[in-house]
A and B are shown apart, each in its own frame.
Chain A
């Protein structure tokens, strides 16, 4: 099925560990986004990309890095995980910035 696929779905990290979240879309969308969702905070934009090879900071970029080496993939990296990064992470993609398609999320716990 066409859509946005996120891996992994769940992960537990120890403080200081690193990891990469993968987002893949097969809709040939130009725009891709990483959000985090926390109770009472809604969705907050971490980083986004408007095309292959481009990335830009969103509302809460600190502690995260991203790469968009291929159009269909958008990677979110945590170099040194902190408990404050415990959250549910959503990837989304869109064509020309309209009508986002979301992945099903990655639930990350940092202990």
Chain B
């Protein structure tokens, strides 16, 4: 079946850039999403990219999509302590089903 994989942990120093990577297996993706989950809260939609785009930038966030390799990344520039959270990659296919990765816990070092 379809799968979304991402590393479980990432540590980054405050002020540096964070890059969270994700791979997926679905060949019929329509949208790819990044969600953010802060402690004790639900998932919040951070950004998304259409499957026919290569890049999307939104303030400190840059999403890169390599369709050939089925690789998605989220870059957070100038990482702040408030960026500490779990980040979920998600893939939506043509049947409108969304498959979530297991999440990457981003830890900010002082």
Contacts and interface: CB of A to CB of B under 8 A. Distances in A.
Do A and B come together as binding partners?
yes
Given A90-B42, A100-B98, A104-B41, A43 B92 contact: no
Q: Is the interface of B mostly helix, strand, loop or mixed?
A: strand
A104 B42 contact: yes
Interface string B22-45: 000000000101010000111111
Contacts of A99: 31, 33, 45, 48
The 5 closest A-B pairs by CB, nearest first: A97-B96, A42-B102, A102-B42, A102-B43, A104-B42
Contacts of A96: 96
A98 B31 contact: yes
Interface of B: 8, 31, 33, 35, 40-45, 48, 88, 92, 96-98, 100-103
Interface string A74-86: 0000000000000
A40 B98 contact: no
A42 B103 contact: yes
Given A42-B101, A42-B102, A102 B96 contact: no
Interface string A100-111: 111111000000
11 contacts: A31-B96, A40-B102, A42-B88, A90-B42, A92-B43, A96-B96, A99-B45, A102-B35, A102-B42, A103-B42, A104-B41
A102 B98 contact: no
Contacts of B8: 40
Contacts of A31: 96
A38 to B, nearest CB: 10
Given A98-B31, A99-B48, A104-B42, A43 B88 contact: yes
A58 B103 CA distance: 19
Given A40-B102, A97-B98, A99-B33, A105 B92 contact: no
